[in-house]
Structures are given as structure tokens and as C-alpha cells.
Structure 1
Amino acid sequence: MTFLPPSAPPITVAERQDRIAALAARLKAKGLAALLIGPTASLRYYTGLDWHPSERLTGALIHADGRVQYICPRFELDKVAGLTADAVAGDILTWEEEKSPYALAAASLPEGGVLAIDDQAAAFIWLGLSRVMGADRVTDGGPLIVAQRSIKSAAEIALLTRAKAITLEVQRRTRHWLKAGVRTSEVKAFIDAEHRALGGEGGSWFCLVSFGEDTCLPHGGEGDRALAADDVVLIDTGTLVDGYHSDITRTYVFGRPSDDFRGAWAHEKEAQARAFAAAAVGAPCASVDAAARDYLTGLGY
């Protein structure tokens, strides 16, 4: 049977521009001059530019009037210009190796203007801007970003749904592919190839595979363990679709589960069902955690 994941078009430049307009309105309302975004997931969220973190500042200034200015080293200009051709339009400010990118950013602000900084940006970016501008002119931009990114559009939900559908199918295929003696490294390679085949960007964006006693460790063992009959199997993996993640864990037994495992598995399933039932609009996160945690601790876990 052919698997066809649900369709999901990529985020458009128009949607990114709407995000910037909403952010600019928040900046203006809070009396902030601009938000500096580092080479983080938020850079792609707002502008469409996907850039790798490094020891040199590359990012974007989003101003309270809605303007976008990219900042990058001079030697990266051609590459950034090429990548931003399909992203939100904006001037590109460049700095030479002997110059300060922080002074460049500061000079782009109105006199005395306060700059919000991406909370996921590296510490050296915060420190560099604080030294140039003064600590009283930089502030945490995290609340602005989180308030916006935590509410998903229909297009985002479609991308998340597609990514999750791909990983669920990969989990199913992996379960049927497993055989005694296969090593965790081989399973990871299989999962990566399946993610790629089904449309996941770059294969697996992460993959954890554990067998036997290693499944008791939060992130598995360090060795390349071989699968044996009746081993517990834990696979935690995900992929990307237009920058949106899937992240799905499955735990089962390769063979015949023991009575203890069946009992623990059933208890965990019930705990998750109680958490889902407790999740409601307006309910604090702690109440969802308590619904599962109180049930499990009541059983002696």
C-alpha cells in the first residue's frame, strides 16, 4: 500500500511579512526600536533565511516601522543575497573582519533606541551589543517572539501534520524491518533513509535508538548494541518539513513482552490518556502534568 503524506505548501513570503507587521506593532507598542534576530529558528520564521550559527554574527534587524535589515560578514554577502532572494526583502548590512557588527547594528537604530534581542541568540551577541550600546538599551526579546510563535497558523499546522505523518509511517516501517542482530547504528541509517524517501528535509533531524536495558536511560546508551529476542525497543525520532519538526517516540518489545513490561506499558498509556483529558483551553500546564504524575505516583512509581 502506497503511503501519501498529507500535502502542505511551504510558508509564503506574504505570511512572513504578516508576521513581521504583527511584530513591528508589538515593538512600537512597547516603545522598542527593533528586534535583533540571530541565526536561530526565529530568523527563518520571520524572514525565510535559514542560516547556521557560527562565531560571526549573521541575523536580521526587524524595526518597529516594519523594515528588515540583514546583517552579515562582508565575505558572506553574495551567499546571503542569494538566499534572501526568495525571502522577505531587506537591505543587507555588512561588516569587515576588523569592524564591529554590534556597532553596525547600533548605528541602524534611532538615537537612544532600545533593542530587543532574540533570546535564543548566542551569549556573545548579547554581550557585544551590551558593550556597544549599554546594558540599559538592550532587553529580552524572547517574550515577543514566544507570544507570536506559540500560536500556529493553518499553514503551520498543515506542515506539522505532514511532518508527523511522515515520521509515524517511518516508525511503522521500522517496526516491520527490525530483525535479530541488527545494530542501533543500522536502525538509525534505515530511519534516516526512510525519512528522506518520504519527503523529510535532510532525513532525520535527530534519531535515538535503544535496545534492552539501554531503554531505561533518558537518552539511551553509548554503545552500538545489537537487537536480541524479547528486547525492549525505544525509537525517538523526527524530521523537518519547511523547517517544522516532528518528534515521535515509540516503545515496544521485539518478541514477547514480560508481565512487568505489559503492566508498566498499560500504566503509562493510562497516564498519557489522563494528561490528554486534562489538557483544555485555559488549563495551566502544571495541571496536565499532575493528571499523569499523580496517577503514576499513586501506583508507586
Structure 2
Amino acid sequence: MNVSPSSAAQAAREAVAARLTDLRKTAGLKAYEVAALCGWHKSKVSRLENAVTLPEDADIRAYLKACGAPEHVAELIAQTRNADQLYVDWKRLHGTGIRRIHESTVPLYQRTHLFRVYCSNVVPGLLQTHGYAQALLSTISDFQGTPNDASEAATARLDRSRVIYEGDHRFVLLVEETVLRYRFGDAAVMAGQLGSLLEVMSLPSVAFGVIPSTVARSMWPLETFMIFDDDRVQVETLSAEISITSEAEITVYAKAFAALQQLAIFGHDARALITDAINALG
């Protein structure tokens, strides 16, 4: 597994490694002795104890058996799985297609009251039309080399997005102006997507803002991220999805979102930029 660029994810991995090391030392064993008892090369214990790799369930059972501490197996497996979920590369998430991931996150969307979403590169998934989503997801699948189920995944994405029209939810969504110009699908697909933005932003639960490309920046463009209430942040990088649950890091992203929101324009002014983008499609 790759080392996460997120400090929270890396800290969770290091906590697992530290716990393993502590249990070995408590047992009075050297690293090479544990490796021998497990039938491993000694370098494997080093990788586990230095957080280079996360242990598999079988590794934890073998390691703790060697240390005479099998009563800690359930604890370490749970801790490891939590660390593993904080940073997951896209190829792993999309290994069987993208549709399944959308379906699995429906409960998170349904229980979230306040969504704060910032996108610097694409229209937020919550606001995507089927045509736009299908074109985008197909491009992603092809780049990642994962099964291309773009049509089914786009349908699942729209099903997940019904929270905009149902229940007691509020949405503040920000995009950079360039998002309105980046084309996914043909001109008709883009026109439909931009037209849909004009419709959705009229909903009382939705605040849709555009950060003009000409604005004097007091906050630089960031990677796409979503804040779910004050409980979780999901950050999308090129290679992975990072889930942040650390209160301190959530506060940092909330601060960044507030700064970006100050740069955005809403209402009539935002509509004008969207209309210009539609007209530019010819």
C-alpha cells in the first residue's frame, strides 16, 4: 500500500506499526525472532513496524501469536482496517467498476445535513447530469484501466444525488469558473449540464457559487473536496480518495472552504457566467 500524503492517514498507519512494535518488545523478542517464528523474511517485520506497509489480517494473527498476545488480534485488525480506509487508491476502489462505490456511499449522503463541496476541475457529482457523468466516468475508467461501467455508474450517481430534492439537507457548492468551460461529452451534453446548473441553483436548499477566473485570489485553487457536516472530509487526488476524520484537519478544510466561498459569486452574477459558457458552445 502506498504511504498516504494525508497526515491523518499516515498517523493511523504509524499507530498500527507502533502498537505492533510495543507488543513485540513487551514479549521480549527481537524483530528477526518474530520473523523466524512467522516464517517470514526479516525485512517484512521491518516494513510492518516502520509503517511501510499495513499488515493483512493473517499477518496480524501470525505476528501476535509469535508475541504470545493473541488477545489483541481483534483490536489490531479493527485499527488496521480503520487506517486502511483513510487512504484508498482509485484503482482499488474502482476495481470492479465505479457503480458499486456510488451505491455504497448512499447512507453517508442520506445522513448528512450540510454538504460543503469545492470542485476545481469538474462539475460537482451532486449536480451532474447523466450525460456529463457518463462521459466523465468513462474517461476516468479508461485512464485508470478499470472496468468501464460508466452508464450504470452515472445512473447510480444520479440516484445518490436525489438527496438534493429529498429530506432536510443543505448544500453549498463552489466551482472555479474554468469548470464551466472544461468539456466532457459533446456540446449538447455540456449545454444540458450547464442548463441543469441554472435549474438546480434555484432550489432553496442549494447555494451554488462560481469563483471568477479574474478574481484577486486570497485562497489558491485546491484539490476537489467535500465536507460532510463537521464529521468527515473526502479529498480527491489523482491517485486516491482520502477520508479525513481528524477534528483538527476538518477544521483546516472548513477554514479553506470559507475563504473560497468569500471569492465566489452567487445568484444573478453566477448565472451570467454560466450563460456565457453556454453561449460559447455555439
TM exceeding 0.5: no
Structure with bigger strand share is 1
| TM-score normalised by the chain length of structure 2 | 0.26
Higher RCO (C-alpha under 8 Å, 6+ residues apart): 2
Structure with bigger helix share is 2
